[in-house]
Amino acid sequence: MPTRSAVAVYARISQDRSGEELGVKRQLADCRAEADRRGWVVAEEYVDDDVSAWSGRRRPAYERMLTDIAEGRRDAVIVWHMDRLHRRPIELEQFADTCTRAELRDVVTLSGDVDLAHGDGLLLARLLAAVAANASDATRRRGARKAQEIAESGRPMMGGPRPFGFTEDRVTHHPGEAPVIRETAARVLAGESLTSVTRWLDEAGVRTVGGNPWRTQTVRAFLTNPRMWGMRVHRGQVIGPAVWEPILTPEQGERLRRVLLDPARRTNRTARRYLLSGMLRCGGCGSTLHSTPQNGRRRYGCTQAPGARTCGGVFIYADLLEEFIVEAVLFRLDSPEAHRAMLEAPGDDARAADLAEAISADTDRMEDLATMFADGDISAQEWKKARDRIQAHLAANRREFARLTQRDAVADYLGKGDELRGAWDSLNLSRQVAVVKAVLESATILKAATPGRRGLDPARIVPTWRV
């Protein structure tokens, strides 16, 4: 048996109702064992999560693996079952072509019946995939009629693990989990990050139905599942009201979907360390200020780096500035101006929904273009031209979308300045950032009039308010 030293292992969380990740651990364990058995060295494990019925189109890990294969960084692939690797025959074609071009012949599956280590293995895989597609079609047809009937009556589908928030009958609210769903939703709608609420769930000891810790993807999946606001979903579509009572209101549900399914937000940012990171501009050159502590004291500053066009002339101590900005933000939340601004800028749910659609369509178009370019269907120039045009759209739509959804965040804090002031120190950084961002777009920091001055000179701070 040939030795392989840069093996790719691929696993995918299949689309199941509860969004559990039990399956993937087993897939990975089995694949690792197979690599050991063959004396192969695993270079990377690629794991995709397409749990959400709404956003299952993208598989970033799979794409990354294809790129690694195409560029010659992988010499074998181990996957638990072919159906983990490909959902549509066209994907298999693409995969097969990539492997052929990269001269990667060792594609191993663990379902017991296929080993593609020799000769025309990929051709065999194609045939098997075609057969598998037919078989699942037949099975689906048999079950489809019954499932459709149940769905139209609004009753839940039984089988598989129960959904989070509901007891085994899938109708009664789970007394421990339903309140958790409400609080999680409220925090996200108030602008807290998914990373932060996921950490909170973890620290509060809340587990998934399968007893696992939460991940941002699985939290997003339950918060955007229309089941939570009393809708019956069938084959990825809302088909009508369900028989169970909603845990969240439909309005909350729509807002959650808008906020959480925007492709621009689908990245896990690393935790920020400073309250005003990214919100401060240099009054000298306009660039973003960065955290630059000095002698153990936190500072924001215009930092000079080789090749960067920054002036390096503005620094301000973080503690005094943050105290000042927070006070101004909380004051502003209770001000008549903020209320008036809200009234004058009514939300437009239909527009936001249209924008979310357009953003998602443009993102898909970008992927299609990249595929066409990779396949040689279009030239680099054509690709670049089309991409630039779509990117301009995308940027404009994202800006407007952000403005519309931002309004929701402000609404949650308006008139609560005093209340927040009392609880400020007990809020975690992510929630503090959410409050500040709801009101403050950015602040420009001017150069110090008298360098070395001890206190804070408020005249140096020029805020741009959202409301």
Nearer to Zn ion, 316 or 333 (CB): 316
Q: Does 448 bind Zn ion (CB under 5 A)?
A: no
Q: Does 282 bind Zn ion (CB under 5 A)?
A: yes
How far is residue 210 from each of residues 23, 102, 164, 197, 435, measured CA to CA in Å?
11, 40, 9, 19, 34
Nearer to Zn ion, 310 or 430 (CB): 310
State the Cα–Cα distance between residues 416 and 413, nearest whole angstrom. 5
Q: Segment contacting Zn ion (CB under 5 A): 70-78, 167-175, 266-274, 285-293? A: 285-293
Q: Does 239 bind Zn ion (CB under 5 A)?
A: no
Check the CA dihedral 260-266-268-274 and report its sign.
negative
Nearer to Zn ion, 249 or 277 (CB): 277
How far is residue 121 from each of residues 27, 221, 430, measured CA to CA in Å?
22, 37, 51
Structure tokens at 336: 């008549």
Neighbours of 416 (CB within 10 A): 14
State the Cα–Cα distance between residues 128 and 117, nearest whole angstrom. 15
Question: Strand runs (DSSP E) across 166-220, as ranges?
Answer: none
Structure tokens at 334: 């209770």
Q: Does 446 bind Zn ion (CB under 5 A)?
A: no
Q: Segment contacting Zn ion (CB under 5 A): 71-79, 283-291, 292-300, 337-345? A: 283-291
Q: How far is the CB of 314 from Zn ion (least distance, A)?
A: 5
How far is residue 338 from each of residues 60, 86, 402, measured CA to CA in Å?
41, 51, 18
Q: Segment contacting Zn ion (CB under 5 A): 77-85, 148-156, 190-198, 282-290? A: 282-290
Nearer to Zn ion, 201 or 282 (CB): 282
Nearer to Zn ion, 55 or 287 (CB): 287
Q: Segment contacting Zn ion (CB under 5 A): 70-78, 117-125, 260-268, 277-285? A: 277-285
State the Cα–Cα distance between residues 254 and 249, nearest whole angstrom. 9
Which residues, listed in sequence order, are joined to residue 238 by a DSSP beta bridge? 233
Q: By rule CB under 5 A, what string of x and - marks binding of each residue 397-416 to Zn ion?
A: --------------------
Residues 6+ apart with CB under 8 A from 174: 164, 165, 166, 167
Q: Segment contacting Zn ion (CB under 5 A): 88-96, 109-117, 122-130, 275-283? A: 275-283
Residue 208 C-alpha from the chain's centroid: 18
Number of residues that bind Zn ion (CB under 5 A): 6
State the Cα–Cα distance between residues 144 and 150, nearest whole angstrom. 10
Q: Does 76 bind Zn ion (CB under 5 A)?
A: no
Which amino acid makes up residue 251? E
- Which residues between 290 and 329 bind Zn ion (CB under 5 A)? 302, 310-311
Q: How far is the CB of 306 from Zn ion (least distance, A)?
A: 15
Nearer to Zn ion, 277 or 335 (CB): 277
State the Cα–Cα distance between residues 139 and 335, nearest whole angstrom. 61
The DSSP annotation for 65-80 comes to HHHHHHTT--SEEEES
Nearer to Zn ion, 253 or 301 (CB): 301
Q: How far is the CB of 289 from Zn ion (least distance, A)?
A: 8
Q: How far is the CB of 463 from Zn ion (least distance, A)?
A: 18
Nearer to Zn ion, 284 or 293 (CB): 284
Residues that bind Zn ion (CB under 5 A): 282, 284-285, 302, 310-311
